[in-house]
């Protein structure tokens, strides 16, 4: 099995994690092993809070990820149960783990952001693309339709007819088109610098607040929050960061969130 994921802290800011997709010579195509690693790493992010404030998701060698590792496909795809186990037991849980983390995720997108790569980017909170990045899901050329759980994450960022266009035409779109359609938030020349600056802005704010905001967004998108979730939400009333933020504003000084209480 080829390829792997690497997780490390940023050299100049330990509050920022770097999650790198790496499959050299294959445009970081995502192997079954890599989906499994992605699931494990994503599932472990919440336990790293509060020292981890944000994670940049990126690919090795100026390429995000070109999709799944198709050389592996003949091993398991032509049997219905094994095919379903791949999509629902490997890919979907990895994407779900990314969506489930309360740690802010920033996709740093260069080169191909295609198929499984686009799915991973769609699970991030922010997407920052280089001018030459390209986006799509051209799997009809491989003779198969998109798995519903994967289509759901693309649908959330591309919309009904954007997703239809990706799938029916199997065409790639460029970064300006992706920006115009809201598929990415920013198109810049130096994605690494912009992703780090963005992570730095997020890291300068209380991690507990970012986590609470991500939870509320997820609850609202799931039709909530429930009564219990709502009650829990307002538990921050007496927190140190809440008191400090408001005190600093009214005293016209910058807040000091360094001593944040874990929550």
Q: Kindly state the tokens that stand for 248.
A: 């600093």
CB of 175 to a copy of itself, least distance (A): 14
Residue placing its CB nearer to a copy of itself in the complex, 37 or 91:
91
DSSP per residue, 140-170: GGGT-PPPHHHHHHHHHHHHHHHHHHHHHH-
Give the count of residues interacting with a copy of itself (CB under 8 A): 84
- Rg of the chain over CA atoms, in angstroms? 19
CB of 213 to a copy of itself, least distance (A): 4
Binding to a copy of itself, residues 6-45 (CB under 8 A): none
Q: Scanning residues 147 to 206, which ones bind a copy of itself (CB under 8 A)?
A: 147-148, 151-152, 155-157, 159-165, 167-171, 179-182, 185, 198, 201-202, 205-206
Site for a copy of itself in 91-110 (CB under 8 A): 104
73 binds a copy of itself (CB under 8 A): yes
Q: Shortest Cβ distance from residue 190 to a copy of itself (Å)?
A: 18
Shortest Cβ 263–a copy of itself spacing (Å): 11
Which of 11, 12, 47, 80 binds a copy of itself (CB under 8 A)? It is 80
Give me the least distance between CB of 47 and a copy of itself, in Å please: 20
Specify whether the CB–CB gap between 17 and 56 falls below 8 A: yes
Q: How far apart are CA 263 and CA 133, in angstroms?
A: 37
Query: Looking at 141, 189, 258, 259, which residue binds a copy of itself (CB under 8 A)?
Result: 141
Binding mask 226-245 for a copy of itself (x = CB under 8 A): ----x--xxxxxxx-xxxxx
């Amino acid at each position: 099995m080829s390829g792997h994921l690497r997780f490390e802290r940023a050299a100049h800011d330990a509050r920022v994690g770097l999650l790198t997709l790496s499959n050299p010579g294959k445009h970081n195509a995502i192997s079954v092993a890599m989906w499994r690693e992605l699931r494990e790493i994503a599932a472990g992010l919440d336990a790293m809070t509060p020292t981890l404030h944000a994670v940049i998701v990126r690919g090795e060698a100026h390429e995000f990820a070109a999709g799944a590792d198709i050389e592996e496909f003949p091993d398991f795809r032509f049997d219905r149960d094994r095919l379903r186990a791949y999509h629902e037991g490997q890919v979907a849980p990895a994407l779900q783990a990314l969506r489930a983390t309360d740690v802010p995720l920033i996709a740093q997108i260069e080169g191909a952001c295609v198929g499984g790569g686009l799915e991973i980017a769609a699970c991030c909170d922010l997407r920052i693309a280089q001018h030459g990045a390209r986006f799509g899901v051209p799997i009809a050329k491989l003779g198969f339709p998109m798995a519903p759980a994967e289509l759901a994450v693309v649908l959330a960022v591309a919309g009904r007819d954007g997703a239809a266009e990706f799938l029916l035409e199997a065409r790639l779109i460029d970064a300006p088109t992706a920006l115009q359609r809201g598929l990415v938030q920013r198109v810049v020349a130096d994605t690494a610098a912009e992703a780090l600056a963005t992570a730095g802005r997020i890291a300068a704010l209380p991690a507990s607040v970012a986590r609470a905001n991500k939870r509320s967004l997820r609850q609202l998108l799931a039709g909530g929050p429930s009564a219990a979730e709502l009650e829990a939400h307002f538990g921050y009333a007496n927190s140190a960061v809440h008191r400090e933020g408001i005190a600093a504003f009214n005293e016209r000084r910058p807040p000091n969130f360094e001593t944040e209480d874990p929550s």
